[in-house]
Amino acid sequence: MHPKASQHSAPTVESERAIVMRETMISTVPNALVSAAFVWLLFGGQATVSLWGMSGLAFDLVPTTFMLTLMTTIALTLIFRKRRRGTSRAGAPGSGGPLPLPHHPVLRGIVLAVLLSVLFVPASVAVLSAIWIEDWSYARVLWFKIVYGILVGWAATPLVVLAALRERG
């Protein structure tokens, strides 16, 4: 098939996978930067960070997970819709059926943010509480949160991209 022709047809399973992988890798940098910014905003100036309490790392995972997922969902949904607008693919579903998510980007973001928060936060807090011996340095929290943000992005981005690719209309 001619490369230009593939731009105007529904994505195949192989092209969906390639798009999902590309977008997931691209999302790594913004998710790392946003996570680092959250650490600076919440813990900047502190020599150490505790696990528990309103100013602890465990509590911080809730807004971090929610906001990273929400921002990723809204941004990618709008980007994919804009890309699709100028092509004959508008309204052409991807290789699979649509994902059971709201069409509105903010509602879609809230649903995915709640889902990933429910999945990620308790598991992460359980692991942290099992390995936590003493308060962590700011630098250690920064590195943890950057990796955590990347992992949240790697979980959210494929869902968001597939939902956008498989939208009807």
Give pLDDT tens digits for 96-155.
Answer: 666 788 889 999 999 999 999 999 999 999 999 999 999 999 999 999 999 999 999 999
- Give buried/exposed letters for 140-162 (b at 16+ CB in 10 A, else e): ebbebbbebbbbbbebbbbbbbb
Q: Please report the pLDDT score of residue 4 as a whole number.
A: 45
The per-residue pLDDT of the chain, averaged, comes to 87
End-to-end C-alpha distance for the chain, whole angstroms: 25
pTM of the full structure: 0.84
Distance, in Å, from the CA atom of 9 to the CA atom of 12, rounded to the nearest integer, reads 9
Share of the chain above pLDDT 90, in %: 67
